[in-house]
Chain A
Amino acid sequence: QKEVEQNSGPLSVPEGAIASLNCTYSDRGSQSFFWYRQYSGKSPELIMFIYSNGDKEDGRFTAQLNKASQYVSLLIRDSQPSDSATYLCAVKAAGNKLTFGGGTRVLVKP
């Protein structure tokens, strides 16, 4: 069983729509959760992190965390073609070790 699971996609959304990405994790001791964006051939860049149950908003991005159900999600509102990338969910346990999911590829179509 993978520790951090994501649907590989591609998730195809029309421009201006909401993209919804999900991530589940197996370690109940996980403390904080990160969403990274990775353009093809580029390195991951942090979008946002969350560590408390509930929602956290940053611009067009909203992260949602439900520790009881062991899932974290990312919503991208008003999706733009520039949002087309792979989105990596990463989960931190003790010691600042990040475990990454396989990523979800998002395609925003004009």
Chain B
Amino acid sequence: EAGVAQSPRYKIIEKRQSVAFWCNPISGHATLYWYQQILGQGPKLLIQFQNNGVVDDSQLPKDRFSAERLKGVDSTLKIQPAKLEDSAVYLCASSLWGRTVAKNIQYFGAGTRLSVL
């Protein structure tokens, strides 16, 4: 079974530029998550989708970050304009959806490492 795919793996941009990340979840997974992981910290949830609807975006800096999940499969996360403090690894995860803990296990992609100069 293929895992969560993300691209690009690395991105270097200058501040005030824009950048976009792409994620393809595990086939059949209804729920998709975007996390930001700053060096030395744990992942922080930015946004959670259930199919193509947003479940939680309370920690998404909406003045500069946006995300969409068209057709309930692939998702893109965009930052515009980028700031120095956005330098981090952006992780995408996906899970099934159900009543048991096992059905809600989140599986992570390899991440995109963003450096903002």
| Residues of A39-83 contacting chain B, CB below 8 A | 42-46, 49, 51
Chain B residues near A4 (CB, 8 Å)?
42
Is A98 an interface residue when CB atoms closer than 8 A count as contact? Answer: yes
Is B14 an interface residue when CB atoms closer than 8 A count as contact? Answer: no
Known: A43-B91, A43-B110, A95-B55. A100 touches B44 (CB 8 A): yes
Contact A103 B42 (CB under 8 A): yes
Contact B101 A88 (CB under 8 A): no
**Interchain CA distance A100-B56 in the complex, whole Å:** 16
We find that the number of chain A residues with CB closer than 8 angstroms to chain B is 23
Q: Which residues of A contact B (CB under 8 A)?
A: 4, 8, 32, 34, 42-46, 49, 51, 88, 90, 92, 95-103
Q: Which residues of B contact A (CB under 8 A)?
A: 31, 33, 40-45, 48, 55-56, 91, 95, 97, 101-102, 104-111
**Could you list 20 A-B pairs, sorted by A, with CB under 8 Å?**
A32-B101, A42-B110, A43-B108, A43-B109, A43-B111, A45-B108, A46-B105, A46-B106, A49-B102, A49-B105, A51-B101, A88-B43, A90-B42, A92-B101, A96-B104, A98-B33, A98-B45, A100-B43, A103-B41, A103-B42
